[in-house]
Each structure stands twice: as C-alpha cells, then as structure tokens.
Amino acid sequence: MSLNTADTTTDSVYEFKTTNIDGKETSLNKYEGKVLLIVNTASECGYTPQYEGLQALYEKYNDDGLVVLGFPANNFGGQEPGTDEEIKQFCKVNYEVGFPMFSKISVKGEDQHPLFSYLTTADNPDFTGAIKWNFEKFLINSNGKLVHRYRSGVKPQSDTIIDAIEKELNS
C-alpha cells in the first residue's frame, strides 16, 4: 500500500502499526476494545492548549475505557519542529500529558502515514478529506471504527465530544 492511499480492505485502526514517542514500534491492536480519541498535535500552535483538555478527558474517562492518542505532526506552519524527545518533554512539563504519545509523523501529503490516510477517508457521519490543521480529532469506537471526526476548533471538553465519548463508552 502506498503511504498516501487508504487500503479499502482495512477494517479498523487496529490494523496499523506506528512508533511510540520512545521509538518502540507499537501496534494499535494493543488498544482493542477501547474507545480512542486520535489527535494530530503540535507544540507551537494556537490550539496547543488543547493538550490540557485532552489530558483532562484521559484522566476522567480512562478507567471507563477511553484512551487519547497523540500524534505530533509538522505539516502545518512548521508548528512541531522538535525531536520526539523535545516533544515528550514539552508535553510533560507544560501539560503533564500522561496519555500515549507517538513519534512525529506526517498526517497529509505524499508521505502521509497510512493510519491518517485511513482516518481521512473512512466513512463517518461527519466528513472526510484532508486534515486542515493541527488538533483535528478522530473518535474511534471499541471495534476500531471511526465514528466521529472533529476539526481543530472543537475543544476536547466540548459537549459535542463528551457526549460522543460517553455514548461510545456506554454502548
């Protein structure tokens, strides 16, 4: 599969592997049965304070089965220039991020990671297409399917996202 083309046979996010922020290859199947909120992040963005809301969601709902997954990307305005170690430090020091973070990847363009190719083309009730900026959010149900997608301006602790998370956790 080319990096920027979604595989139409893909059934869930659990089929993808990526590298965590510590450099270890990680299969997303380790989150099977969990509700996931996948977010493309950046450290020097106007939306960067959303890390605080993402961490709050993770703390509130993790015991119920929610896992927030952060994927740093430097695709928009060069707003994630750091190394993985610098990103990890920034997130810990400034926002006490405890949810899983992954190695910096590309979320659009010729070198788009296959996970984000899938997320931007998978059927969902909201919309498909290219990511427009940092901090877009993808809500994945416990079967690994995309159920909602949110643009950057939708805050993590908005009623829209909280209601959708609670619905998925209770289904």
DSSP-assigned beta bridge partners for residue 164: none
Q: Is 91 a catalytic site residue?
A: no
Query: Kind and range of the H or E element at 58?
Result: helix 50-61
Choice among 45, 56, 154, 162 that is catalytic: 45
What is the chain's length?
A: 171
Q: How far apart are CA 16 and CA 153, in angstroms?
A: 27
- Is 37 within 8 Å of 71 (Cβ atoms)? no
DSSP-assigned beta bridge partners for residue 138: 38, 149
Q: How far apart are CA 120 and CA 147, in angstroms?
A: 12
Catalytic residues: 45
